[in-house]
Chains A and B, each alone.
Chain A
């Protein structure tokens, strides 16, 4: 096929839209750049539909008039960044075809080039690794194909393949994509349109040629599976290069390499093949390919090393907290604590236990919240034992630990966090209500074993019933206007706690109360005042 006229071009564009319609939700899911709002596929689809609508409103038959109408429609209906870029590509496309009745390979190549030029010009800061890059490589491929053959089907196929290869490279160009393990959504959308178009050309002949790029597409664009065990790596060296030579027989190369490893891909056409294989004998792979031509851009990587890099700490800063009680543990976790060390009051955790929590925290730098004065020393030992950078924030009570976590900013550095958390934990007051474990006389107060006793910032509060003691503790700590949070322990049921809460609320109308299940043993209430 050497020329398209407007009916065929319309058919080609409709096929592109149809393909996009089917794929739009999948493209939405890829969306991370520039704003991960998950609507790239939908935006491109809407834009493309607006273009088609524009096209349908034109009565004239020439290809110039049809593409111009299409571009106008796209400009009107462009949605999202990807839609704007797409509309710009169509602007350029139309500008290049203005006044033409039909288009040949060179015209189409020139139109694509013009489209890319328009798109780059419209963006003040074009970003590589996006649809722009994919479109540019498609235009280059179209030019390359048009210089060698007037066949439009071939041009379409070649353009599609190159775009697919470039799309697979987008994670290398744009770190945000690599981090998310995806290819660029806009680029994928553009490829899908090309794919739809290719389907039309494909109807003519040689369908089998398509299988190669599709295979490439699938293997390279899916997120790389994260290996769990090093033993899973059977073939150690990831080997990739370009093979150049006259009339390269891709099938034959593939067969020769087949038994040398797995994940084999041999793609490309004519005088350039891209070879990718995981093998224990990269030398043999290279030798085999030297029979056919010259080697370029050779990359051989030990996947075990890469794996270790991948398994490394995945965030800069983690937090370990010593907590007793399932309710409190959940609350600490909800605030961003990575590892909880179970800290019963009567059986303090060992340095070893804290160390192992630090080691399993997926971060290089770890902050420890002991939340008990008896645990601070054991926690400080960990600093010398761990290879990680460990800071102990000397929190003496659960409320102090919670206040510190409230100030925790996962994206800020260790220094910023420790100073913010330090300031926050000293700004909170702590009350505790428990039973005396022995007879004693402290601060002029006599307590008998089994009595409820309260501690307000460590000061003993006189005994009485549970609710009286708790009320006394609260009244010692407040001055008015604060927020009082009660965490009830495992020995106080929810209804009991709520009944007491109602009493406190009427006794202290000037403060706000919140009640949560802490689930801690021994302490009926832990109280924070802030």
Chain B
């Protein structure tokens, strides 16, 4: 029996040192500024350059092709490795379909393609949990169980500066268009069954951070949880979030990350938020 290989896509927003440490394979989505200006997410463009460009020009994104997954899967499939491929919500991107298409071309291989129903750190935390379980010598079945547990208990809340990016990319209903147009209102959003859903509106960022802290504290209660925090291009706000959340629940985040190009295209640079899930064995 071969090794267990963990594959994800660039929307997992995992820091490169974790990707290297846990031997995770990241298939990039693409960021498209025009027909002639296409970047592989997380490879061709630094985050700072991406956000600078996004401020100049709206972007769109595109899922990896089935061939890109096939290239990753095939050599491992041929040497009998087992592949666990965890990806961005199918309600937000067709990446899972590309992965499934590639899997269907390798009918004899052991490939589990999982729709995480999340993007950014909810996906990233699930991938990390899987990679840790695999590293700890779990079987493929056990790793999949870990992923199931993580995904089933994942809660994600984030605040954006404006809904403009989500609307442009069609990732949120048009009914929300009125939000915060006159008052200084910041939407707090959540992920619900793979979709971005409005959760609450708050007056201003400071109240938003307080609300996020309260939401995390409520989620923790007396349970054993781990959480991760993330921002786009808002380091000052992010530092405040980190301080607030840590103070409120009494322990720090186990993942600190930045929203990459693809997710950033759809939420905008002002995003900050957290994801938490039930602690599993290795955490």
Contact = CB atoms under 8 A, between A and B. Distances in A.
A-B complex is real: yes
Interface stretch (A36-44, A107-115, A450-458): A36-44
Interface in A481-503: 483, 485
A83 B65 contact: yes
A187 B69 CA distance: 25
A331 B260 CA distance: 34
B60 A39 contact: yes
B201 A75 contact: no
B182 A81 contact: no
B159 to A, nearest CB: 14
A35 B203 contact: no
Contacts of B139: none
Contact of B66 (A38, A39, A84): A84
A472 to B, nearest CB: 23
A38 B97 contact: no
A484 to B, nearest CB: 10
Given A35-B171, A36-B170, A123-B100, A336 B178 contact: yes
B49 interface: no
Nearest to A528: B203
A61 interface: no
A77 B174 CA distance: 31
Contacts of B66: 75, 78, 84, 87-88, 122
Interface in A292-350: 315, 330-331, 333-336
Interface string B209-250: 000000000000000000000000000000000000000000
B252 interface: no
A101 interface: no
B46 interface: no
Contact of B70 (A34, A38, A75, A336): A75
Interface string A77-91: 111110111011001
B183 A334 contact: yes
B98 interface: yes
B67 interface: yes
Contacts of A315: 175
A172 interface: no
A35 B93 contact: yes
A172 to B, nearest CB: 23
Contacts of B175: 315, 410-411
A75 B63 contact: no
Interface in A34-60: 34-39, 43, 46
Contacts of A35: 91-94, 170-171
A27 to B, nearest CB: 15
Given A75-B70, A79-B62, A84 B101 contact: yes
A337 to B, nearest CB: 9
Given A76-B65, A514-B183, A516-B183, A406 B94 contact: no
Nearest to A330: B182
Contacts of B185: 335, 406
Chain B at the A interface: SS class: mixed
Nearest to A87: B66
A88 B97 CA distance: 11
A512 B183 contact: no
B199 to A, nearest CB: 8
A84 B173 CA distance: 25
A121 interface: yes
B169 interface: yes
Given A81-B94, A84-B98, A121-B104, A530 B203 contact: yes
A81 B97 contact: yes
A35 B30 CA distance: 16
A39 B34 CA distance: 12
A525 B167 CA distance: 35
A409 interface: yes
A87 B97 contact: no
B62 A485 contact: no
A365 to B, nearest CB: 15
A37 to B, nearest CB: 4
Contacts of A512: 204, 206
Contacts of B97: 81, 84-85, 122-123
A114 B270 CA distance: 47
A407 B67 CA distance: 46
Contact of B91 (A34, A83, A330): A34
Contact of A411 (B91, B98, B169, B173): B173
Given A35-B170, A406-B203, A122 B104 contact: yes
B173 A331 contact: no
B257 interface: no
B65 A84 contact: yes
Contact of B65 (A79, A409, A485): A79
A206 interface: no
A81 B101 CA distance: 11
B67 A483 contact: no
B90 A80 contact: no
Contacts of B94: 34-35, 80-81, 84
A506 interface: no
Contact of B67 (A76, A80, A122): A76
B104 A335 contact: no
B101 A122 contact: yes
A124 interface: yes
Contacts of B60: 37, 39
A360 B160 CA distance: 34
Contact of B171 (A37, A39, A406): A37
Contacts of B180: 334
A108 to B, nearest CB: 23
Contacts of B204: 483, 512, 514
Most buried by A among B101, B113, B178, B198: B101
Nearest to B104: A122
A411 B200 CA distance: 12
Given A36-B170, A80-B62, A121-B104, A334 B200 contact: no
14 contacts: A34-B91, A35-B92, A79-B62, A79-B63, A81-B97, A84-B66, A84-B98, A91-B105, A122-B97, A123-B101, A335-B178, A402-B183, A407-B201, A516-B182
Interface of B: 30, 35, 60, 62-63, 65-68, 70, 90-94, 97-98, 100-101, 104-105, 113, 169-171, 173, 175-176, 178, 180-185, 197-198, 200-204, 206-207
Q: Enumerate the 9 nearest inter-chain pairs by beta-carbon distance, A residue then B residue, closest first.
A: A81-B94, A36-B170, A78-B65, A122-B101, A334-B182, A37-B170, A334-B181, A75-B67, A76-B67
Given A77-B65, A78-B98, A406-B201, 17 more contacts: A31-B170, A35-B94, A35-B171, A37-B171, A39-B62, A75-B65, A80-B63, A80-B94, A84-B94, A84-B98, A87-B66, A88-B66, A334-B183, A406-B202, A407-B201, A411-B175, A514-B203
